[in-house]
Amino acid sequence: MPIASGGAPVARKSLRESAAEQIRAAILDGTLQPGENLNDGELQEWLGISRTPVRDALNDLARYGLIEMAPQRYTRVAKPRPEDRTLIMQTLGALVGGVVRVTVPGLTEEQREQLIIAVRTAAGTVLGRDHESHGKLGWDMVYLFLDLCPNHILVAATRDRIDGLGYQLTITRDAASTDWAALEAGYPALIDALQAGDSIAAELAIETVFQLPLPTAK
């Protein structure tokens, strides 16, 4: 069939990608609950596709930490462990820290101001110990860094991991589990680093926000 030239290419999602997106969305919005068993037949009926793309999608989501699978035993929505929370925070800090370090040197003044506003907005929840608002606004800040990062390979790799790790934080989050001292130290340092255009200081500041220990002084 003749195809007209000159048009922009149309991105087509595979059944696997589409299924993964829909299951992911159902997990993140709470339609599918932590620990809920996932039945292939029910998912096929819901998504209107065959078993193979459903299983492929579940395997993808398992790699990202949203699904737990044990052969011949269960396939279920991940059930986060509160005792892993600090380790998850530190893992996210290492990932996001790399994004921050790569992003800061190339920021325009407008982009720099956007980020400073986002950081200040997240920091504004600390005084009132508002963990729910901080959870949302903190992620808004992280995703803005990702949107502005010039390294698309780093962005793709980080986004792949953030959903599962962020989900585990959200499920285990409460006022007592939030390290307010780390936020009180990290956010002002991040604002100062952004204003100075200091990428290394910005990386260290975001790692403080995510509870990575400071380097040992020599």
> Where in the chain are the domains?
15-77, 82-209
Q: Check: CB of residue 20 under 8 Å from CB of residue 57.
A: yes
Pick one of 3.40.50.300, 1.10.10.60, 1.20.120.530, 2.160.10.10 as the CATH number of 82-209.
1.20.120.530
Q: What CATH number does the domain located at 15-77 have?
A: 1.10.10.10
| Average pLDDT taken over every residue of the chain | 88
Sign of CA dihedral 209, 215, 216, 218: negative
Q: Check: CB of residue 78 under 8 Å from CB of residue 65.
A: yes
CA distances from 69 to 83, 88, 150 (A): 20, 20, 35
pLDDT of residue 12: 61
Place of tokens 């991991």: 161
pLDDT of residue 217: 42
Q: Check: CB of residue 80 under 8 Å from CB of residue 165.
A: no
Average pLDDT estimate for 163-180: 83
Per-residue pLDDT tens over the stretch 9-47: 434 678 999 999 999 999 988 899 999 999 999 999 999
> Residue 139: is its pLDDT beyond 70?
yes
Q: 47: which 2 tokens? A: 């998504």
